[in-house]
Amino acid sequence: MWFALLLTGLMGLTACQPQEIALEVTRIVETQEVVEVTRIVRETVVEEATRLVSEELVVEVTKSPLGTEARPVQLLFSPVVNTAVINRRGDILAQVLSEATGYQFTVGILDNEQTVIDMLCAAPVETIAFLSASGFVLADEQCGAQVGNVAVSSDGVTWKSGMIVTRRGSGIEELEDLAGKSWAVADRNSMANFLYFQALLEQEGIEPGDIIEVTGDSAAMLAVYEEEADFATADFVPPIMPYEERLWQYGEDDPEPGRYLGIPPRRSPIGYVLVNGEPEFGGYRLRDARSRIFDVAPQIY
């Protein structure tokens, strides 16, 4: 990288500027008596003049190579979960990446996601940012950020989805039925659980009623179940399909296989919520937000 530095120095400039001065010269004249004679003699002297000159120079500053200890690649996170957890797992990630690439990595946890985006945009070559879906949208708008990798769940799902849950018999069958209805929300910053649905309702000209903020998806599900809210939005993790031969497909597979098959879900001895048995025996494993409160309210499905 090049930096323009303004350097100021002294440059001696010698100017020969003749100047006449008067010198008094005395000599002795020998006569019969000593007489002192004085005359004027003109002599040239040289005077040195010095002046200050400013000069702009271009100086090349060489950075350390990327990925060295002096200039490691930055892995930047926002504090979406406990910072101790991010530090521990981030250090493991940095070590694995270093072994795989030969580069040095450092983990940074910043105050918020916007700060992560600002640092990514300021130094894109040496920064890897871990962003939410909404964070990526903001980074793309701010500096044209591009997705390098996408998180993959243990069963290969690379996307995240939300769902709207209402009580059976509430009369809510279509989106327009949500107008004026109370809405239980666990996280107003979540793309899948709130921001997407907020934008969707605004686009359709539907204005819900009170927004009730709760702690976690389980509390949102219970708020609807116990009639404290008319509807809620929460995570929808698709069910594991029979024999695990393929992934659940949006728009093709039923989101509620229990209702589709007429078989109520049950809790397995090891804690899974199943319809018609384990997937390896032809059943479905349910994983959306309702499964977390199945023991408290099994009728949630």
Q: What is the DSSP string of 221-277?
A: HHHHHTTSSSEEEEEEPPPBPGGG-S---TTTS-S-HHHHHT---EE-TTS-EEESS
Alpha-carbon distances of 19 from 22, 51, 169, rounded to whole Å: 10, 20, 113
Helix locations, the chain, DSSP H? 83-101, 113-122, 133-143, 196-203, 216-225, 257-261
Check residue 45 and give its pLDDT.
53
What predicted TM-score, i.e. pTM, was given to this entire model? 0.62
Check residue 21 and give its pLDDT.
52
Check residue 158 and give its pLDDT.
85
Whether the CB-CB separation of 149 and 128 falls below 8 Å is answered with: no
Check residue 13 and give its pLDDT.
34
How many whole angstroms separate alpha carbon 170 and alpha carbon 115? Answer: 43
Rounded mean pLDDT for each run of 10 residues along the chain, 301 residues in total = 35 42 50 52 56 67 89 90 82 95 95 92 95 88 92 83 94 96 91 92 97 94 97 94 93 91 93 95 95 91 88
Strands 284-286 and 50-60: unpaired
Whether the CB-CB separation of 180 and 152 falls below 8 Å is answered with: no
Check residue 85 and give its pLDDT.
82
Strands 73-77 and 127-129: parallel
Check residue 4 and give its pLDDT.
37
Check residue 191 and give its pLDDT.
84
Count Cβ atoms within 10 A of the Cβ of residue 113 and give its class: 0-12 exposed, 13-18 middle, 19 or more buried.
buried
Whether the CB-CB separation of 97 and 91 falls below 8 Å is answered with: no
CATH architecture assignment, domain 73-143? 3-Layer(aba) Sandwich (3.40)
The CATH code for residues 161-300 is: 3.40.190.10
Partners of residue 234 on adjacent β-strands: 163
Task: Calculate ∠ Cα 135-71-77, nearest 5°.
Answer: 25
Q: Which of 163, 144, 201, 189 is nearest to 301 (CA)?
A: 163
End-to-end CA distance of the chain: 61
